[in-house]
Structure 1
Amino acid sequence: MAGRLRQSTGRYGGRTAEERQAERRRRFLDAGLQLFGAGPGYRSTTVAALSEAAGLSTRQFYEEFRSLEDVLAALHLQVNDWAEEAALAALTEAGDLPLAERATALFHAYAANVTSDPRRIRITFVEIIGVSARLEDQRLSRRARWVEFICGEAATAVARGEAAPRDYRLAATAFIGSVNGLLHDWNAGWVDATLDEVVEELVRQLLGILRPTGWGGEVATRL
């Protein structure tokens, strides 16, 4: 009976079919990170070129993905997951420190992760823009997740008496836009500063949001 080829479910070369499939998927994503993130870019890459870079066939590509857009979507989520994991790990380590030190640890971890590979910044802030309504929804959804992240940390600071109590959603949305824009511009060479200076500026901005002029919280007077 004619139909789509089925992948083998047995062991081959000491690996299961699931392990081989995961390896193929990783190779396609690695190739996508290189071609989309370093050049020629998502819009100038073909399935054939991606498959060649991965050392696999186009038939194998279509066993893992429906289109190049699926590869870009997966990479965008992966890059955001890596950054979120780094930020959460830093907060776990700095959980009992004062607000300014927690914020510094958070942004050092986030910025170091995102900027450790320029291809990640290009995937997240450049290549995904304007591709499709689906990817725009995904981009905005992940940005909303970062907004919730900042709002959660603001709520923790308020509970500890370290920040003024208010609804931080609008401010967090504006702040995330600043973070993304500053890191993109720094990576592109448009900002004459070290990464440490960029982090210090982000921390100052966040503290200014959480502790507006005239707020008289118990911790604000001693930090």
Structure 2
Amino acid sequence: MRLGVATGTYGGRSAQERRAERRERFLAAGLELFGGSPGYRASSVTALCEAAWLSTRQFYEECRNLEDVLARLHLLVNDLTEQEVVRALAESAEAGFEQRIGAVLRAYVTAATRDRRRLRIAFVEIIGVSEALERQRLVRRARWVELILAEAGAAAARGEVAPRDYRIAATAFIGAVNGLLHDWTAGQFEATLDQVIDELAGLLLGVVRPGA
């Protein structure tokens, strides 16, 4: 049951402003615990509240449970990465397809790996938690697939790539990206940022290049 929430002004800040600050503190604490140590499955409401310097009563005023915090963090991480990709698309609008792909992949990889805690939440902690979170993960993954399809369609219209249905290829590519970034940041192999981007660009261009 959700607890009642104060609605007055206190200390010069409205109840809405105080609630927004508490939500930010819970998310920051969740990023630290879920994306760092001990991870989502080993965390508790008590530990999260201690990390946020807030009470359990305040937690249940803002959140349903720990999964609610993880879900919000997953959406936030994806939104931040998507913003970088959209910016790269706008800045490379006049570039050729290969240059555009390189710019977009650089934006994605840089944003996704800038903070290892975000990467862990996006690719590790979200897996297998619940049916609701799995649906959320697949919905956000589908948005990345649609972005690739839109770019491939635009490139086909300009005669830069072969016109065909790229959905299977785009879905496979997103899976490859996620797996590669996870293993790279986990230290499974050594590579520079440029090497990772070049490898991903080669994979993508291999399936969309005319005659491929």
TM bin, normalised by shorter chain, reads over 0.9
Identity of aligned residues (%): 63
- For 1:205, the equivalent position in structure 2 comes to 203
- For 2:102, the equivalent position in structure 1 comes to 104
CA deviation map 1:7-48 (0-9, x unaligned): 222222221111111100000000000000001010110100
Q: Return structure 1 stretches of 4+ with deviation > 6 angstroms.
A: none
Shift, 1:4, TM fit: 6.7
- For 1:20, the equivalent position in structure 2 comes to 18
Task: Give the alignment's Cα RMSD to 1 decimal.
Answer: 1.3
One-letter code aligned to 2:74: H
Summarize the alignment of residues 162-201 of structure 1 with structure 2, pairs less than 5 Å apart: 162-201=160-199
- For 1:219, the equivalent position in structure 2 comes to none
- What SS does structure 2 have at the residue aligned with 1:161? coil
Pick closer, same or farther for the CA change 1:162–1:65 going to 2, 3 Å. same
One-letter code aligned to 1:195: L
Q: Distance in 2 between matches of 1:133 and 1:19?
A: 32
- For 1:123, the equivalent position in structure 2 comes to 121
Q: Distance in 2 between matches of 1:54 and 1:162?
A: 51
Shift, 1:55, TM fit: 0.5
- For 1:48, the equivalent position in structure 2 comes to 46
Shift, 1:160, TM fit: 1.2
One-letter code aligned to 2:108: Y
CA deviation map 1:60-89 (0-9, x unaligned): 000011110000011011100101110000
- For 1:137, the equivalent position in structure 2 comes to 135
TM-score calculated relative to the size of structure 1: 0.92
Pick closer, same or farther for the CA change 1:4–1:169 going to 2, 3 Å. closer
One-letter code aligned to 1:179: V
- For 2:78, the equivalent position in structure 1 comes to 80
- What SS does structure 2 have at the residue aligned with 1:66? coil
Q: Distance in 2 between matches of 1:156 and 1:191?
A: 35
Q: Distance in 1 between matches of 2:85 and 2:177?
A: 14
Q: Is the aligned partner of 1:156 residue 2:154? A: yes
Q: Which runs of 5+ in 1 are unaligned?
A: 216-223
One-letter code aligned to 1:89: R
TM-score calculated relative to the size of structure 2: 0.97
- What SS does structure 2 have at the residue aligned with 1:43? helix
Shift, 1:151, TM fit: 0.5
Q: Distance in 2 between matches of 1:125 and 1:191?
A: 17
8 Å Cα contact 2:2-2:64 kept in structure 1: no
- What SS does structure 2 have at the residue aligned with 1:102? helix
Q: Which residue of 43, 63, 67 maps to 2:65? A: 67
Pairs aligned (count): 212
Q: Distance in 1 between matches of 2:2 and 2:192?
A: 53
